[in-house]
Structure 1
Amino acid sequence: MHGLALVILTTIVPWLEYRAAIPLMVELGIDPMIGLPSILLVNTLVPALALIAAVNLEGWIMRLPLISRLLEVAWRWTARSREKVEKYGYPALTLLVFVPLPGSGMWTAVAVAFLLRLRPLKSILFSAAGLVPSALLIYSLVSFFT
């Protein structure tokens, strides 16, 4: 069980996420029927909760001068491009998470969703839609080469 805990902790770390947790799971010999659902669940829920918290704590976050200025700049740009953001923003989140590159996982997707002021639940669902096939692709590749 210690191995699964290590895999879960790896999954939580931004920029590592499932891309590092899946090879670790295979290396530690964890049953993929337990490991993969655990990775997918944790890698979806933890960033999702962070997005929901950020949206709910926006008023407090905006009291921090530097962060407030940065967010206002991003939100002004988003307001000017609202139509494009609404049309392409959600599918872009799916693609962002699907591409298994460092910095392109759920944490990045929820940060982008917050910056673009996309609806949290819809953002989480579209991001998770990219997570599942990407995780299965990584698992297939890792299993093939080990």
Structure 2
Amino acid sequence: MFQSLFNWLLGAGSELAVVLISMVPLVELRGAVPLGVAAGMEWHTVLPLAYLGNLIPIPFVLFFGEKVLDWVGTLRPFTGFVTRYKAKLESKKDKVTKYARIGLFLFVAVPLPGTGAWSGALIATLLEMPKGKALLSITGGVLAAGIIMLIASNGVLGVVNLF
């Protein structure tokens, strides 16, 4: 499904496709970097575009995320998903709270299912973390995740050859 979406977006240009895919919740930079690499884009093009695209929605999520999530949860087809998603966020809340900003950074940086900038911003909102400090932790985490995904997409030896 994501490959066909990426191919459709390639009609507008691979750069725009990487930015748009990295803005999608749950896919984010973690999906955009491997697809950009697979499309033959250079790492020094893919990484900044995916980073930028992943961060564009985050200030809005920090300020309005909980309200939007609550509203989407009132829509019949999404009620179950939102309930499960909030429960998953709540289950990870203790780990993030324990270590505050470094916890949020690690939560965003480690590319595991259910983690990322969107989830990190929602957790920061639920924890009522200061928006500036949360944004700093999230931006650092997204950069670390991008480097991890670049290495994973090219392989360790492939990354050495990039330089």
User: Taking structure 2 as the reference length, what is the TM-score of the superposition?
Assistant: 0.66
Question: Are residue 131 (structure 1) and residue 149 (structure 2) matched?
Answer: no
User: Structure 1 pair 97/54, CA: closer, same or farther in 2 (3 Å)?
Assistant: closer
Aligned partners of 2:19 and 2:52 also within 8 Å:
no
Do the aligned residues in 2 keep the contact of 1:19 with 1:138 (CA within 8 Å)? yes
Aligned-partner Cα distance in 2 for 1:140–1:54: 31
Choose which of 154, 158, 161 in structure 2 pairs with 1:143: 154
Specify every segment of 5 or more residues in structure 1 that has no aligned partner in the other structure, as ranges: 71-76
The share of aligned pairs that are identical, in percent, is: 27
Residue 29 (structure 2) pairs with residue 18 (structure 1): yes
Higher relative contact order, structure no. (Cα contacts within 8 Å, ≥ 6 residues apart): 1
Q: CA RMSD in A?
A: 3.1
Aligned residue among 13, 29, 32 for 2:40: 29
Q: Which runs of 4+ in 1 moved over 2 A?
A: 52-55, 60-63
Distance 1:134 1:61 in 2: 24
Deviations 1:104-143 (Å, cap 9, x if unpaired)?
Answer: 0000000000100001111010112122122112101211
Would you say the 8 A contact 2:23–2:56 is kept in 1? no
Number of residues paired by the alignment?
Answer: 129
Q: Distance in 2 between matches of 1:92 and 1:41?
A: 22
Partner of 2:112: 101
Select between 106-115 and 22-31 the one with higher mean Cα deviation.
Answer: 22-31
Q: Is the 8 A contact 1:7 1:21 kept in 2?
A: yes
Unaligned runs of 5+ in 2: 1-11, 75-82, 84-89, 159-163
Counterpart residue type for residue 21 of structure 1: A
- Give, in whole Å, the separation in 2 of the partners of 1:6 and 1:47: 19
* Structure 1 residue matching 2:56: 3-state secondary structure: helix
**1:47 Cα deviation after fit:** 1.7
